[in-house]
Structure 1
Amino acid sequence: MSVNTYLSTLSSNLVLSSIENESIKKSINTLSKYLNWYFDSDDLHEHFRFGSSTRGTILPRSADSGSDVDYMVVFKNPNGYKPQTLLKYLKEFMEKYYSRSEIYRDSPTMVLELNHIKFELVPAVKDDWGNLSIPAPATDFLEWTSTDPGGFNSKLTTANVHNNYQLKPLIRLMKYWNTNKLKGYYSSYLLEEWLVNRYSFFTKSSLKDYVYDSIEGLYYNFNDSQTFKDRLDYAKKVVSNCKSYELTAYPGLAETEIKKLFPEL
Protein backbone atom coordinates (compact mmCIF):
# COMPACT_ATOMS: atom_id res chain seq x y z
CA MET A 1 0.00 0.00 0.00
CA SER A 2 1.25 3.49 -0.79
CA VAL A 3 1.44 6.32 1.72
CA ASN A 4 -1.30 8.17 -0.13
CA THR A 5 -3.64 5.17 -0.09
CA TYR A 6 -2.98 4.59 3.59
CA LEU A 7 -3.63 8.23 4.53
CA SER A 8 -6.77 8.35 2.38
CA THR A 9 -8.14 5.25 4.09
CA LEU A 10 -7.25 6.59 7.54
CA SER A 11 -8.88 9.95 6.84
CA SER A 12 -12.09 8.12 5.89
CA ASN A 13 -11.93 6.21 9.17
CA LEU A 14 -11.66 9.54 11.00
CA VAL A 15 -15.16 10.51 9.88
CA LEU A 16 -17.89 10.06 12.51
CA SER A 17 -19.80 6.82 12.08
CA SER A 18 -23.52 6.88 11.41
CA ILE A 19 -24.09 5.51 14.93
CA GLU A 20 -22.00 8.26 16.52
CA ASN A 21 -23.67 10.91 14.38
CA GLU A 22 -27.12 9.69 15.37
CA SER A 23 -26.17 9.63 19.04
CA ILE A 24 -24.90 13.23 18.87
CA LYS A 25 -28.04 14.30 17.00
CA LYS A 26 -30.25 12.83 19.72
CA SER A 27 -28.21 14.53 22.45
CA ILE A 28 -28.45 17.89 20.66
CA ASN A 29 -32.20 17.53 20.26
CA THR A 30 -32.51 16.79 23.98
CA LEU A 31 -30.22 19.68 24.90
CA SER A 32 -32.25 22.04 22.71
CA LYS A 33 -35.49 20.88 24.29
CA TYR A 34 -34.15 21.36 27.81
CA LEU A 35 -32.88 24.87 26.99
CA ASN A 36 -36.33 25.82 25.69
CA TRP A 37 -37.90 24.49 28.87
CA TYR A 38 -35.48 26.18 31.25
CA PHE A 39 -35.21 29.60 29.61
CA ASP A 40 -38.22 31.53 28.38
CA SER A 41 -38.54 33.72 25.31
CA ASP A 42 -37.42 36.78 27.26
CA ASP A 43 -34.10 35.13 28.11
CA LEU A 44 -32.75 33.85 24.79
CA HIS A 45 -32.55 34.91 21.17
CA GLU A 46 -31.55 31.45 19.93
CA HIS A 47 -29.20 28.52 20.51
CA PHE A 48 -27.43 26.35 17.95
CA ARG A 49 -24.54 24.03 17.23
CA PHE A 50 -21.41 25.43 15.58
CA GLY A 51 -17.74 24.57 15.18
CA SER A 52 -16.03 21.47 13.78
CA SER A 53 -19.10 19.24 14.19
CA THR A 54 -20.89 21.41 11.61
CA ARG A 55 -17.89 21.43 9.25
CA GLY A 56 -17.28 17.69 9.05
CA THR A 57 -13.87 18.00 10.72
CA ILE A 58 -14.72 16.72 14.20
CA LEU A 59 -12.86 13.55 15.14
CA PRO A 60 -14.57 10.44 16.52
CA ARG A 61 -13.89 9.74 20.19
CA SER A 62 -11.90 6.64 19.18
CA ALA A 63 -9.36 9.07 17.70
CA ASP A 64 -9.74 11.91 20.19
CA SER A 65 -11.15 11.24 23.65
CA GLY A 66 -11.57 15.00 24.13
CA SER A 67 -13.66 15.48 21.00
CA ASP A 68 -16.51 17.91 21.69
CA VAL A 69 -19.50 19.63 20.15
CA ASP A 70 -19.64 23.43 20.37
CA TYR A 71 -23.05 24.88 21.18
CA MET A 72 -23.82 28.60 21.35
CA VAL A 73 -26.53 30.02 23.63
CA VAL A 74 -27.41 33.62 22.68
CA PHE A 75 -28.81 35.59 25.61
CA LYS A 76 -30.94 38.72 25.20
CA ASN A 77 -29.25 40.12 28.31
CA PRO A 78 -31.20 43.41 28.68
CA ASN A 79 -29.50 44.09 32.02
CA GLY A 80 -26.01 43.88 30.54
CA TYR A 81 -24.82 41.01 32.69
CA LYS A 82 -21.15 40.12 32.51
CA PRO A 83 -19.96 36.81 30.99
CA GLN A 84 -19.47 35.29 34.46
CA THR A 85 -23.18 35.72 35.20
CA LEU A 86 -24.28 34.10 31.94
CA LEU A 87 -21.87 31.21 32.53
CA LYS A 88 -23.44 30.82 35.96
CA TYR A 89 -26.90 30.61 34.35
CA LEU A 90 -25.64 27.86 32.03
CA LYS A 91 -24.13 26.00 34.97
CA GLU A 92 -27.42 26.12 36.87
CA PHE A 93 -29.25 24.90 33.75
CA MET A 94 -26.87 21.93 33.43
CA GLU A 95 -27.17 21.04 37.10
CA LYS A 96 -30.95 20.86 36.78
CA TYR A 97 -31.12 18.53 33.78
CA TYR A 98 -27.73 16.78 33.84
CA SER A 99 -27.06 16.37 37.56
CA ARG A 100 -25.39 12.97 37.06
CA SER A 101 -23.00 14.22 34.38
CA GLU A 102 -19.66 15.95 34.80
CA ILE A 103 -20.05 19.72 34.62
CA TYR A 104 -17.23 22.25 34.84
CA ARG A 105 -16.11 25.62 33.60
CA ASP A 106 -13.46 25.90 30.94
CA SER A 107 -13.40 29.63 30.27
CA PRO A 108 -15.08 30.96 28.21
CA THR A 109 -17.40 27.91 28.13
CA MET A 110 -19.33 25.57 30.36
CA VAL A 111 -18.50 21.93 29.67
CA LEU A 112 -21.00 19.09 29.88
CA GLU A 113 -19.52 15.59 29.62
CA LEU A 114 -21.89 12.79 28.71
CA ASN A 115 -20.93 9.15 28.22
CA HIS A 116 -20.58 9.46 24.46
CA ILE A 117 -19.83 13.13 23.81
CA LYS A 118 -18.68 16.35 25.41
CA PHE A 119 -20.56 19.61 24.89
CA GLU A 120 -19.02 23.05 25.25
CA LEU A 121 -21.77 25.59 25.81
CA VAL A 122 -20.74 29.12 24.92
CA PRO A 123 -22.79 32.09 26.16
CA ALA A 124 -23.19 34.88 23.61
CA VAL A 125 -24.94 38.22 23.23
CA LYS A 126 -26.29 39.94 20.14
CA ASP A 127 -26.32 43.66 19.37
CA ASP A 128 -29.01 45.61 17.51
CA TRP A 129 -27.38 44.82 14.16
CA GLY A 130 -27.29 41.08 14.78
CA ASN A 131 -23.57 40.88 15.54
CA LEU A 132 -22.60 38.19 18.04
CA SER A 133 -20.06 38.42 20.86
CA ILE A 134 -18.75 35.75 23.22
CA PRO A 135 -16.67 36.01 26.41
CA ALA A 136 -13.16 37.24 25.66
CA PRO A 137 -10.14 35.13 26.64
CA ALA A 138 -8.82 35.73 30.14
CA THR A 139 -5.71 37.40 28.68
CA ASP A 140 -7.79 40.15 27.02
CA PHE A 141 -8.74 43.41 28.71
CA LEU A 142 -12.23 43.31 27.19
CA GLU A 143 -15.13 41.28 28.55
CA TRP A 144 -16.60 40.37 25.15
CA THR A 145 -15.12 39.62 21.76
CA SER A 146 -16.97 39.56 18.44
CA THR A 147 -17.50 36.27 16.64
CA ASP A 148 -18.95 34.93 13.40
CA PRO A 149 -19.65 31.23 14.10
CA GLY A 150 -20.70 30.48 10.53
CA GLY A 151 -18.15 32.56 8.67
CA PHE A 152 -15.29 30.09 8.84
CA ASN A 153 -17.54 27.27 7.63
CA SER A 154 -18.06 29.10 4.34
CA LYS A 155 -14.35 29.76 3.96
CA LEU A 156 -13.53 26.11 4.61
CA THR A 157 -16.15 24.90 2.14
CA THR A 158 -14.77 27.16 -0.59
CA ALA A 159 -11.18 26.10 0.10
CA ASN A 160 -12.15 22.42 0.21
CA VAL A 161 -13.74 22.64 -3.25
CA HIS A 162 -10.72 24.58 -4.54
CA ASN A 163 -8.47 21.77 -3.27
CA ASN A 164 -10.45 19.00 -4.95
CA TYR A 165 -12.09 18.03 -1.64
CA GLN A 166 -8.76 17.09 -0.06
CA LEU A 167 -8.78 19.79 2.62
CA LYS A 168 -11.26 18.23 5.04
CA PRO A 169 -9.46 14.86 4.97
CA LEU A 170 -6.19 16.75 5.56
CA ILE A 171 -7.66 18.64 8.51
CA ARG A 172 -8.88 15.43 10.13
CA LEU A 173 -5.45 13.83 9.71
CA MET A 174 -3.59 16.82 11.09
CA LYS A 175 -5.94 17.07 14.07
CA TYR A 176 -5.39 13.35 14.71
CA TRP A 177 -1.63 13.87 14.68
CA ASN A 178 -1.89 16.98 16.85
CA THR A 179 -4.02 15.18 19.43
CA ASN A 180 -2.11 11.93 19.62
CA LYS A 181 1.49 12.88 18.88
CA LEU A 182 1.69 16.54 19.90
CA LYS A 183 -0.62 16.12 22.90
CA GLY A 184 -2.96 18.80 21.57
CA TYR A 185 -0.27 21.48 21.35
CA TYR A 186 -2.17 23.39 18.66
CA SER A 187 -5.64 24.80 19.18
CA SER A 188 -7.97 22.68 17.06
CA TYR A 189 -9.66 25.71 15.53
CA LEU A 190 -6.41 27.61 14.89
CA LEU A 191 -4.93 24.54 13.21
CA GLU A 192 -7.94 24.32 10.90
CA GLU A 193 -7.69 28.04 10.18
CA TRP A 194 -3.98 27.78 9.40
CA LEU A 195 -4.55 24.92 6.97
CA VAL A 196 -7.40 26.73 5.19
CA ASN A 197 -5.30 29.89 4.82
CA ARG A 198 -2.28 27.90 3.64
CA TYR A 199 -4.19 26.21 0.82
CA SER A 200 -6.66 28.91 -0.18
CA PHE A 201 -4.64 29.61 -3.33
CA PHE A 202 -2.06 26.86 -3.82
CA THR A 203 -3.08 23.23 -4.26
CA LYS A 204 -1.27 19.89 -4.12
CA SER A 205 -1.67 16.80 -6.28
CA SER A 206 -2.49 14.26 -3.55
CA LEU A 207 -3.48 13.96 0.11
CA LYS A 208 0.01 12.70 0.89
CA ASP A 209 1.55 15.85 -0.54
CA TYR A 210 -0.75 18.01 1.58
CA VAL A 211 0.31 16.14 4.71
CA TYR A 212 4.01 16.37 3.88
CA ASP A 213 3.77 20.06 3.06
CA SER A 214 1.72 20.86 6.18
CA ILE A 215 4.21 19.27 8.55
CA GLU A 216 7.15 20.83 6.74
CA GLY A 217 5.41 24.21 6.99
CA LEU A 218 5.15 24.18 10.78
CA TYR A 219 7.84 25.82 12.90
CA TYR A 220 8.38 26.38 16.58
CA ASN A 221 9.23 29.52 18.51
CA PHE A 222 12.22 30.12 20.72
CA ASN A 223 10.12 29.88 23.88
CA ASP A 224 8.37 26.63 22.92
CA SER A 225 9.16 23.68 25.15
CA GLN A 226 11.99 21.37 24.18
CA THR A 227 9.54 18.48 24.21
CA PHE A 228 7.41 20.12 21.53
CA LYS A 229 10.49 21.05 19.48
CA ASP A 230 11.67 17.45 19.59
CA ARG A 231 8.27 16.13 18.53
CA LEU A 232 8.02 18.52 15.60
CA ASP A 233 11.59 17.77 14.50
CA TYR A 234 10.78 14.07 14.69
CA ALA A 235 7.71 14.55 12.48
CA LYS A 236 9.76 16.42 9.90
CA LYS A 237 12.34 13.63 9.96
CA VAL A 238 9.63 11.04 9.35
CA VAL A 239 8.37 13.01 6.34
CA SER A 240 11.93 13.24 5.01
CA ASN A 241 12.36 9.48 5.43
CA CYS A 242 9.07 8.80 3.63
CA LYS A 243 10.18 10.87 0.67
CA SER A 244 13.53 9.07 0.52
CA TYR A 245 11.87 5.65 0.58
CA GLU A 246 9.47 6.70 -2.16
CA LEU A 247 12.30 8.00 -4.35
CA THR A 248 14.13 4.69 -4.00
CA ALA A 249 10.97 2.66 -4.73
CA TYR A 250 10.32 1.33 -1.24
CA PRO A 251 6.62 2.20 -0.76
CA GLY A 252 6.21 -0.40 1.98
CA LEU A 253 8.93 1.22 4.09
CA ALA A 254 7.39 4.64 3.46
CA GLU A 255 4.03 3.38 4.69
CA THR A 256 5.61 1.91 7.81
CA GLU A 257 7.35 5.23 8.43
CA ILE A 258 4.22 7.42 8.07
CA LYS A 259 2.39 5.19 10.58
CA LYS A 260 4.77 6.53 13.23
CA LEU A 261 2.89 9.83 12.95
CA PHE A 262 -0.51 8.52 11.87
CA PRO A 263 -1.07 5.10 13.46
CA GLU A 264 -3.96 2.88 12.48
CA LEU A 265 -7.13 3.25 14.50
Structure 2
Amino acid sequence: MSVSTYLYSLSSELIITESERIAINGYTDTVKTRLSQHFQTGLIVEQFSFGSFTRKTLMPKKADSESDVDYMVVFNPNKPTLGFYGGMTYTYYEPSTYLNWIKGFVEGKYPRSEIFQSHPTIVLQLSKFKIEIVPAKKDSNDTYEIPAPLSDYTKWLVTNPNSFNEIVRKKNTAENSKIRPVIRVMKYWNAQNGYIYSSYDLEQKIVNTYYYNCTTVWDYLRTFVSNISTVYLGITATSKVDRLKKICENAYNYESSYWSPNPALAEAEIKKAFPVFKL
Protein backbone atom coordinates (compact mmCIF):
# COMPACT_ATOMS: atom_id res chain seq x y z
CA MET A 1 0.00 0.00 0.00
CA SER A 2 1.33 3.45 -0.85
CA VAL A 3 1.70 6.11 1.83
CA SER A 4 -0.92 8.18 0.02
CA THR A 5 -3.45 5.33 0.09
CA TYR A 6 -2.70 4.54 3.72
CA LEU A 7 -3.15 8.13 4.90
CA TYR A 8 -6.36 8.58 2.95
CA SER A 9 -7.71 5.38 4.49
CA LEU A 10 -6.62 6.49 7.96
CA SER A 11 -8.28 9.89 7.57
CA SER A 12 -11.52 8.10 6.63
CA GLU A 13 -11.32 5.92 9.75
CA LEU A 14 -10.97 9.06 11.89
CA ILE A 15 -14.45 10.36 11.04
CA ILE A 16 -16.96 9.98 13.84
CA THR A 17 -19.52 7.29 13.12
CA GLU A 18 -23.17 7.96 12.39
CA SER A 19 -24.09 6.39 15.72
CA GLU A 20 -21.71 8.80 17.50
CA ARG A 21 -23.21 11.73 15.63
CA ILE A 22 -26.73 10.65 16.58
CA ALA A 23 -25.64 10.21 20.21
CA ILE A 24 -24.09 13.70 20.30
CA ASN A 25 -27.23 15.26 18.82
CA GLY A 26 -29.23 13.41 21.45
CA TYR A 27 -27.00 14.71 24.25
CA THR A 28 -27.20 18.32 23.06
CA ASP A 29 -30.96 18.12 22.48
CA THR A 30 -31.38 16.93 26.06
CA VAL A 31 -29.13 19.71 27.37
CA LYS A 32 -31.17 22.24 25.42
CA THR A 33 -34.45 20.96 26.82
CA ARG A 34 -33.18 20.86 30.39
CA LEU A 35 -31.67 24.34 30.16
CA SER A 36 -34.98 25.73 28.91
CA GLN A 37 -36.76 24.05 31.82
CA HIS A 38 -34.20 25.17 34.41
CA PHE A 39 -34.01 28.89 33.64
CA GLN A 40 -36.90 31.33 33.66
CA THR A 41 -38.51 32.19 30.35
CA GLY A 42 -36.64 34.84 28.38
CA LEU A 43 -33.33 34.49 30.21
CA ILE A 44 -31.80 32.30 27.48
CA VAL A 45 -32.01 33.75 23.97
CA GLU A 46 -29.92 31.21 22.03
CA GLN A 47 -28.40 27.74 22.37
CA PHE A 48 -26.26 25.98 19.77
CA SER A 49 -23.34 23.64 19.15
CA PHE A 50 -20.13 25.05 17.69
CA GLY A 51 -16.49 24.03 17.28
CA SER A 52 -15.06 20.91 15.66
CA PHE A 53 -18.38 19.04 15.72
CA THR A 54 -19.99 21.62 13.45
CA ARG A 55 -16.79 21.91 11.36
CA LYS A 56 -16.83 18.14 10.72
CA THR A 57 -13.38 17.73 12.25
CA LEU A 58 -14.41 16.16 15.57
CA MET A 59 -12.38 13.05 16.35
CA PRO A 60 -13.78 9.71 17.53
CA LYS A 61 -13.36 9.37 21.29
CA LYS A 62 -11.19 6.28 20.80
CA ALA A 63 -8.73 8.31 18.71
CA ASP A 64 -8.73 11.38 20.96
CA SER A 65 -9.64 11.03 24.61
CA GLU A 66 -9.98 14.83 24.89
CA SER A 67 -12.53 15.03 22.08
CA ASP A 68 -15.47 17.17 23.15
CA VAL A 69 -18.51 19.02 21.89
CA ASP A 70 -18.71 22.78 22.39
CA TYR A 71 -22.12 24.17 23.31
CA MET A 72 -22.93 27.86 23.74
CA VAL A 73 -25.70 29.21 25.94
CA VAL A 74 -26.46 32.86 25.21
CA PHE A 75 -28.14 34.70 28.05
CA ASN A 76 -30.19 37.86 27.77
CA PRO A 77 -28.19 40.52 29.66
CA ASN A 78 -31.07 42.99 29.46
CA LYS A 79 -33.90 40.91 30.84
CA PRO A 80 -35.83 43.27 33.11
CA THR A 81 -36.92 42.33 36.62
CA LEU A 82 -39.51 43.97 38.85
CA GLY A 83 -37.85 46.54 41.12
CA PHE A 84 -38.59 47.21 44.80
CA TYR A 85 -40.96 50.09 44.02
CA GLY A 86 -42.71 48.32 41.17
CA GLY A 87 -40.58 49.74 38.34
CA MET A 88 -38.54 47.62 35.90
CA THR A 89 -34.82 47.35 36.58
CA TYR A 90 -31.93 45.89 34.60
CA THR A 91 -29.22 43.99 36.42
CA TYR A 92 -25.62 43.74 35.19
CA TYR A 93 -24.01 40.40 35.98
CA GLU A 94 -20.32 39.56 36.08
CA PRO A 95 -19.15 36.75 33.76
CA SER A 96 -18.53 34.60 36.85
CA THR A 97 -22.25 34.79 37.61
CA TYR A 98 -23.13 33.17 34.29
CA LEU A 99 -20.54 30.46 34.90
CA ASN A 100 -22.06 29.78 38.31
CA TRP A 101 -25.52 29.58 36.74
CA ILE A 102 -24.30 26.93 34.31
CA LYS A 103 -22.47 25.08 37.07
CA GLY A 104 -25.61 25.07 39.21
CA PHE A 105 -27.61 23.79 36.25
CA VAL A 106 -25.35 20.81 35.49
CA GLU A 107 -24.98 19.92 39.18
CA GLY A 108 -28.75 19.87 39.53
CA LYS A 109 -29.65 18.14 36.26
CA TYR A 110 -26.65 15.79 35.99
CA PRO A 111 -25.85 14.85 39.62
CA ARG A 112 -24.17 11.56 38.67
CA SER A 113 -21.89 13.00 35.98
CA GLU A 114 -18.38 14.36 36.39
CA ILE A 115 -18.41 18.17 36.28
CA PHE A 116 -15.50 20.60 36.30
CA GLN A 117 -14.55 24.08 35.13
CA SER A 118 -12.06 24.57 32.29
CA HIS A 119 -11.23 28.04 30.98
CA PRO A 120 -14.52 29.85 30.19
CA THR A 121 -16.55 26.62 30.17
CA ILE A 122 -18.26 24.17 32.45
CA VAL A 123 -17.38 20.64 31.34
CA LEU A 124 -20.02 17.93 31.58
CA GLN A 125 -18.55 14.42 31.23
CA LEU A 126 -21.18 12.07 29.80
CA SER A 127 -20.82 8.39 28.94
CA LYS A 128 -19.35 8.83 25.45
CA PHE A 129 -18.39 12.48 25.05
CA LYS A 130 -17.65 15.60 27.01
CA ILE A 131 -19.82 18.64 26.46
CA GLU A 132 -18.16 21.98 27.19
CA ILE A 133 -20.91 24.47 27.97
CA VAL A 134 -19.91 28.09 27.37
CA PRO A 135 -22.06 30.89 28.83
CA ALA A 136 -22.26 33.97 26.65
CA LYS A 137 -24.16 37.18 26.05
CA LYS A 138 -24.77 39.42 23.06
CA ASP A 139 -24.03 43.11 23.01
CA SER A 140 -26.07 45.75 21.19
CA ASN A 141 -24.22 44.96 17.93
CA ASP A 142 -25.16 41.27 18.10
CA THR A 143 -21.56 40.40 18.99
CA TYR A 144 -21.04 37.36 21.18
CA GLU A 145 -19.05 37.75 24.39
CA ILE A 146 -17.76 35.00 26.67
CA PRO A 147 -15.99 35.11 30.06
CA ALA A 148 -12.33 36.09 29.68
CA PRO A 149 -10.12 33.58 31.55
CA LEU A 150 -7.19 35.96 32.07
CA SER A 151 -9.44 38.38 33.94
CA ASP A 152 -10.54 35.76 36.49
CA TYR A 153 -13.90 35.91 34.73
CA THR A 154 -14.59 39.55 35.64
CA LYS A 155 -14.43 40.77 32.03
CA TRP A 156 -15.86 39.71 28.70
CA LEU A 157 -14.05 38.50 25.59
CA VAL A 158 -15.52 39.13 22.13
CA THR A 159 -15.86 35.99 20.00
CA ASN A 160 -17.53 34.70 16.86
CA PRO A 161 -18.15 31.03 17.64
CA ASN A 162 -18.87 29.76 14.14
CA SER A 163 -16.80 32.09 11.95
CA PHE A 164 -13.97 29.55 11.68
CA ASN A 165 -16.40 26.98 10.25
CA GLU A 166 -16.74 28.96 7.05
CA ILE A 167 -12.97 29.47 6.82
CA VAL A 168 -12.40 25.71 7.06
CA ARG A 169 -15.17 24.98 4.57
CA LYS A 170 -13.78 27.40 1.98
CA LYS A 171 -10.20 26.20 2.42
CA ASN A 172 -11.28 22.57 2.17
CA THR A 173 -13.20 23.29 -1.03
CA ALA A 174 -10.33 25.25 -2.55
CA GLU A 175 -7.86 22.46 -1.74
CA ASN A 176 -9.73 19.54 -3.32
CA SER A 177 -11.38 18.42 -0.06
CA LYS A 178 -8.02 17.48 1.44
CA ILE A 179 -7.91 19.92 4.37
CA ARG A 180 -10.35 18.10 6.65
CA PRO A 181 -8.51 14.77 6.13
CA VAL A 182 -5.19 16.45 7.02
CA ILE A 183 -6.80 18.02 10.10
CA ARG A 184 -8.05 14.63 11.28
CA VAL A 185 -4.72 12.88 10.71
CA MET A 186 -2.76 15.64 12.45
CA LYS A 187 -5.18 15.76 15.38
CA TYR A 188 -4.67 12.00 15.71
CA TRP A 189 -0.90 12.51 15.84
CA ASN A 190 -1.35 15.38 18.31
CA ALA A 191 -3.40 13.17 20.65
CA GLN A 192 -0.81 10.39 20.37
CA ASN A 193 1.91 12.84 21.39
CA GLY A 194 0.41 14.45 24.46
CA TYR A 195 -1.41 17.37 22.84
CA ILE A 196 1.46 19.58 21.78
CA TYR A 197 -1.05 21.96 20.23
CA SER A 198 -4.61 22.82 21.19
CA SER A 199 -7.10 21.34 18.75
CA TYR A 200 -8.23 24.78 17.57
CA ASP A 201 -4.67 26.07 17.18
CA LEU A 202 -3.69 23.03 15.12
CA GLU A 203 -6.68 23.47 12.81
CA GLN A 204 -5.78 27.14 12.36
CA LYS A 205 -2.19 26.27 11.47
CA ILE A 206 -3.34 23.76 8.85
CA VAL A 207 -5.85 26.16 7.30
CA ASN A 208 -3.34 29.03 7.23
CA THR A 209 -0.63 27.01 5.47
CA TYR A 210 0.03 27.76 1.79
CA TYR A 211 -0.14 24.61 -0.34
CA TYR A 212 1.43 24.48 -3.77
CA ASN A 213 1.07 21.73 -6.36
CA CYS A 214 -0.59 19.32 -3.91
CA THR A 215 -2.98 16.58 -5.01
CA THR A 216 -3.16 13.81 -2.40
CA VAL A 217 -3.62 13.84 1.37
CA TRP A 218 0.05 12.82 1.56
CA ASP A 219 1.08 15.86 -0.50
CA TYR A 220 -0.87 18.20 1.76
CA LEU A 221 0.31 16.52 4.96
CA ARG A 222 3.94 16.59 3.89
CA THR A 223 3.69 20.28 2.98
CA PHE A 224 2.12 21.13 6.31
CA VAL A 225 4.58 19.11 8.40
CA SER A 226 7.59 20.59 6.60
CA ASN A 227 6.32 24.08 7.49
CA ILE A 228 5.46 23.52 11.15
CA SER A 229 7.31 25.97 13.35
CA THR A 230 8.71 24.85 16.69
CA VAL A 231 9.14 28.41 17.96
CA TYR A 232 7.84 28.76 21.54
CA LEU A 233 7.66 24.98 22.00
CA GLY A 234 9.49 23.31 24.86
CA ILE A 235 12.33 20.84 24.40
CA THR A 236 10.15 17.72 24.55
CA ALA A 237 7.50 19.09 22.20
CA THR A 238 10.14 20.28 19.75
CA SER A 239 11.75 16.84 19.66
CA LYS A 240 8.38 15.25 18.88
CA VAL A 241 7.74 17.65 16.02
CA ASP A 242 11.27 17.11 14.70
CA ARG A 243 10.69 13.36 14.82
CA LEU A 244 7.49 13.79 12.79
CA LYS A 245 9.35 15.85 10.21
CA LYS A 246 12.07 13.19 9.93
CA ILE A 247 9.56 10.35 9.58
CA CYS A 248 7.75 12.16 6.76
CA GLU A 249 11.07 12.92 5.07
CA ASN A 250 12.19 9.28 5.34
CA ALA A 251 8.86 7.95 4.05
CA TYR A 252 9.01 10.26 1.06
CA ASN A 253 12.60 9.27 0.28
CA TYR A 254 11.82 5.55 0.54
CA GLU A 255 8.95 5.72 -1.92
CA SER A 256 10.45 8.22 -4.36
CA SER A 257 13.97 6.81 -4.62
CA TYR A 258 15.04 6.82 -8.27
CA TRP A 259 17.09 3.62 -7.99
CA SER A 260 15.10 1.51 -5.54
CA PRO A 261 11.67 2.85 -4.52
CA ASN A 262 10.27 0.87 -1.60
CA PRO A 263 6.56 1.57 -0.91
CA ALA A 264 6.41 -1.07 1.83
CA LEU A 265 9.27 0.53 3.74
CA ALA A 266 7.69 3.96 3.24
CA GLU A 267 4.38 2.72 4.65
CA ALA A 268 6.10 1.14 7.65
CA GLU A 269 7.93 4.41 8.28
CA ILE A 270 4.84 6.64 8.15
CA LYS A 271 3.03 4.30 10.56
CA LYS A 272 5.60 5.25 13.21
CA ALA A 273 3.90 8.66 13.37
CA PHE A 274 0.40 7.66 12.29
CA PRO A 275 -0.32 4.13 13.53
CA VAL A 276 -3.21 2.03 12.31
CA PHE A 277 -6.54 3.05 13.85
CA LYS A 278 -9.70 0.95 13.98
CA LEU A 279 -12.93 1.79 15.74
Scaled to the shorter chain, the TM-score interval is over 0.9
Count, aligned residues? 262
Kindly report which structure 2 residues correspond to 1:72-111, keeping only aligned pairs within 5 A, or say none. 72-78=72-78, 79-111=91-123
Once the two structures are TM-superposed, the CA of residue 224 in structure 1 deviates from its matched residue by 2.8
Once the two structures are TM-superposed, the CA of residue 140 in structure 1 deviates from its matched residue by 8.8
Instruction: After superposition, give the CA deviation of every residue in 1:76-123 in whole Å (9 maximum; x if it has no partner).
Output: 123221111111000000011100000000021100000111000011
CA 1:85–1:154: 2 relative to 1, 3 Å: same
- Structure 2 CA distance for aligned equivalents of residues 164 and 49 of structure 1: 27
What is the aligned partner in structure 1 of residue 155 from structure 2?
A: 143
- Structure 2 CA distance for aligned equivalents of residues 108 and 76 of structure 1: 18
- Structure 2 CA distance for aligned equivalents of residues 141 and 126 of structure 1: 16
- Structure 2 CA distance for aligned equivalents of residues 51 and 35 of structure 1: 20
CA contact (8 A) 2:137 2:144 kept: yes
What is the aligned partner in structure 2 of residue 168 from structure 1?
A: 180
Instruction: After superposition, give the CA deviation of every residue in 1:125-149 in whole Å (9 maximum; x if it has no partner).
Output: 1012211111123279971111111
- Structure 1 CA distance for aligned equivalents of residues 137 and 249 of structure 2: 48
- Structure 2 CA distance for aligned equivalents of residues 139 and 255 of structure 1: 48
- Asked whether 1:35 is paired with 2:35, we answer yes
What is the aligned partner in structure 2 of residue 118 from structure 1?
A: 130
- Structure 2 CA distance for aligned equivalents of residues 126 and 41 of structure 1: 17
- Structure 2 CA distance for aligned equivalents of residues 59 and 80 of structure 1: 38
Q: 1:207 aligns with which of 211, 217, 234?
A: 217
CA contact (8 A) 1:163 1:203 kept: no
- Asked whether 1:227 is paired with 2:251, we answer no
CA 1:116–1:233: 2 relative to 1, 3 Å: same
Residue identity opposite 1:127 in structure 2 = D
Once the two structures are TM-superposed, the CA of residue 71 in structure 1 deviates from its matched residue by 0.2
- Structure 1 CA distance for aligned equivalents of residues 74 and 213 of structure 2: 38
Q: Counterpart of 1:165 in 2: which secondary structure?
A: coil
Once the two structures are TM-superposed, the CA of residue 228 in structure 1 deviates from its matched residue by 0.9
Q: Counterpart of 1:178 in 2: which secondary structure?
A: helix
What is the aligned partner in structure 1 of residue 189 from structure 2?
A: 177
CA 1:142–1:31: 2 relative to 1, 3 Å: closer
- Structure 2 CA distance for aligned equivalents of residues 254 and 99 of structure 1: 51
- Asked whether 1:46 is paired with 2:58, we answer no
TM-score between both structures, scaled by the size of structure 1 = 0.95
- Structure 2 CA distance for aligned equivalents of residues 141 and 29 of structure 1: 28
What is the aligned partner in structure 1 of residue 63 from structure 2?
A: 63
Q: Counterpart of 1:138 in 2: which secondary structure?
A: helix
Residue identity opposite 1:35 in structure 2 = L
CA contact (8 A) 2:64 2:188 kept: yes
Once the two structures are TM-superposed, the CA of residue 250 in structure 1 deviates from its matched residue by 0.5
Q: In percent, how many aligned pairs have the same letter? A: 41
Alignment gaps of 5+ in structure 1: none
CA 1:158–1:241: 2 relative to 1, 3 Å: same
What is the aligned partner in structure 2 of residue 15 from structure 1?
A: 15
Q: Counterpart of 1:74 in 2: which secondary structure?
A: strand
Where does structure 1 differ by over 4 angstroms across 4 or more consecutive aligned residues? 139-142
CA contact (8 A) 2:94 2:154 kept: no
- Structure 1 CA distance for aligned equivalents of residues 276 and 123 of structure 2: 29
CA contact (8 A) 1:67 1:118 kept: yes
Alignment gaps of 5+ in structure 2: 79-90
Residue identity opposite 1:189 in structure 2 = Y
CA contact (8 A) 1:59 1:172 kept: yes
- Structure 2 CA distance for aligned equivalents of residues 252 and 258 of structure 1: 10
Q: Counterpart of 2:149 in 1: which secondary structure?
A: coil
Residue identity opposite 1:219 in structure 2 = S
Q: CA RMSD in A?
A: 1.6
CA 1:193–1:203: 2 relative to 1, 3 Å: farther
Instruction: After superposition, give the CA deviation of every residue in 1:201-234 in whole Å (9 maximum; x if it has no partner).
Output: 746121001111111111212x532111111111
CA 1:195–1:139: 2 relative to 1, 3 Å: farther
Q: Counterpart of 1:115 in 2: which secondary structure?
A: coil
